Amino acid sequence: MSAKSVTTKALAKKLSEKSRVVQAVKVQDIEDAVKSPYFSPVQTRHQRKNNKSQRKGSEAPVKSGKPTSTSANSKPIKVNALTNNIELQSVKIKENVSEIKDIHLDSNKTNAKTESQDKWEPQNWRLILENIRAMRADATAPVDTMGCHKCSDNEADEKTQRFQKLVALMLSSQTKDEITYEAMQRLKSSGLTPQAIIEIETGKLEELLKPVSFYKNKAKYLQLASTMLVDKYDSDIPSTSKELQTLPGVGPKMAHICMATAWNQVTGIGVDVHVHRIANRLKWLPKPTKEPEQTREGLESWLPRDMWQDVNHLLVGFGQTVCKALRPQCSECLNREICPSSTYKSTTKKKIKSESANIAPKISKLENP
């Protein structure tokens, strides 16, 4: 045998041993499942040394005589564990992202609630209200002496006084306080209790109410309401605004004012023609209103609750004396400079300008220089 053939056999044997080593390599990393652990089939000595050290550090030892199968059906444990770990991390990331989105949505909702809590309110409303309070203190209005709270008999029992305040409110609708007060005096002289209103003839009741606006309808409502009070409330009036509005002829305005004057409970702002008119003139509403109930809702949306009871009395008297329906006395109003509906025109600037102006005297052309 020639030396050349011997060398060839030795080289072939050496290559076969290396191939067995390659087959015995166990896949450990997820990247090993898709590519060979070797960079190139032809490697330098330094590359083989690095590969060998990497296999020793990361691969499990292979027992002799029991080569590890590398078929496609086998699933390395560490690959599955790593894949599961990646899937778990992916799920956690998705959960974190969803939590972040939820937090972001919650923060948006919180911001929306905060913005809604930052209620709209008109400019200078506190100053305007204090000026109205000052004007009301200087002048007495009809509501101060002849309002519904002044129409009851102070010597009667509390139940009767509450009923009489309710009757005064029912008569006051679209009626001046002076006329309501006089009608209440006539009714009290004949006996003003629920039972007395039921027993009186309708025609006589109408005569007692004249010249109250819509006195015929109001006489009918008084008798119907009195019958309900006797049957359901033992001749007393209901103690809630909702129940009061079930009585014939009683609306939200009357119910809220009655709760304040008869039961000393604040359930809402009583809006009559004066409050409705002045609130719109002062721009105290988010938008102009046509109905008193819309005005009530607009005022209650921003006005502090502890002012609800006073605002009706203040604005009614202010409307009777200064901010009248036809000819408002803007020149006498303390809010004339800041009221958005004021017709007052200041002449201060014009006077100052005319007084401070220096006009040179004219020189006649006929005069000698």
Instruction: Output phi, psi for 123, to 5 deg.
Output: -75, 145
Please give the Cα distance from 292 to 281 (Å, whole number). 14
Q: Residue type at 76?
A: P
Instruction: Look at residues 164, 181, 179, 189 and name the one whose alpha carbon lies nearest to residue 210.
Output: 179
What tokens does 272 get?
């009559």
For residues 148-181, one letter each, b for 16 or more C-beta atoms within 10 angstroms of the residue's C-beta and e for the rest, the string is: bbbbbeeeeeebbbbbbbbbbbbbbbebebebbb
Q: Residue type at 106?
A: D
The answer to whether residues 298 and 286 touch, using CB atoms and an 8 Å cutoff, is yes
Enumerate residues 6+ apart whose C-beta is below 8 A from 40.
Answer: 47
What tokens does 333 get?
């109003």
User: CB 30: neighbour CB atoms within 10 A?
Assistant: 14
253 flagged as catalytic:
yes
The answer to whether residues 153 and 188 touch, using CB atoms and an 8 Å cutoff, is yes
Instruction: Look at residues 173, 190, 191, 171 and name the one whose alpha carbon lies nearest to residue 181.
Output: 171
HSE-CB at 233 with a 13 A cutoff on CA atoms is 21
Catalytic pick among 253, 283, 287, 351: 253
Instruction: Output phi, psi for 268, to 5 deg.
Output: 170, 175
Residue given tokens 């039972």 in the structure block: 195
Active site residues per annotation: 253
